[in-house]
Homo-oligomer: A and B are copies of this chain.
Amino acid sequence: MLFAVLLYPRVTALDAVGPYDVFSKVPGNDVVFVGERTGPVRTEIGSLGLVADATLDEVTSPDVVVVPGGHGQADLMSGGPVRDWLRRTDATSTWTTSVCSGSLLLAAAGLLRGRRATSHWLALDQLPAFGAEPTGERVVRDGKYVTAAGVSSGIDMALTLVGLQSGDRVAQAVQLGIEYDPQPPYDAGVPSKAPADVVDYLRQHRRFVLTGRD
């Protein structure tokens, strides 16, 4: 199975690397990072470069497409090579997946029309404009489309997909291998659980959280 993880400037590193470290641990899976150009792509905050090893033109028919979110997502919504690549690869993919605001890129490419999908909680309300139906679930599967909520949810999405593709035992072995027995020191990972002032703060800075720009 060939997994293609899309990189673009100001992508969120964990959106891409969470699924990568799950998918790549399954024997027989190959994961390639693709970008408009090969070479380092600077992530969201700028202090990490992730290397794209192939151009969009070099990876045209991966089995699984993985679209991470991040501040740079907004710049890609109105068309261009990334949107063309998403449509082209989706035509033959077994699974088309996203993490966080990556689902907005799939939606803008017209791929989630009439589909249930999710996104970062601050971005969910942008889905209907593209004909997608937002849900509050952490991982949403509708046909071959598997979308995940914000950032860290890509790990849950990837384990779900490994289970579907390779079976429960393989997925459990990967989970045990990465010791994924989460114990967050706080219970504030969704708006319904976080303190109201923390939720308000992020809502007020919503544009910055989603795009890195005020």
Contact = CB atoms under 8 A, between A and B. Distances in A.
Contact of A185 (B12, B163, B178, B201): B163
B171 A156 contact: no
A134 B20 CA distance: 29
B53 A47 contact: yes
A25 interface: yes
Contacts of A199: 176
Nearest to A168: B186
How many copies of this kind of chain does the complex include?
A: 2
A152 B19 CA distance: 11
A207 to B, nearest CB: 13
A181 B169 contact: no
Contacts of A194: 172, 175-176
A195 interface: yes
26 contacts: A12-B21, A13-B17, A14-B17, A14-B20, A21-B151, A24-B48, A31-B45, A31-B47, A31-B48, A100-B179, A138-B181, A150-B177, A152-B178, A153-B179, A156-B183, A159-B186, A163-B186, A172-B188, A173-B202, A175-B186, A176-B189, A180-B182, A180-B189, A181-B184, A182-B182, A182-B184
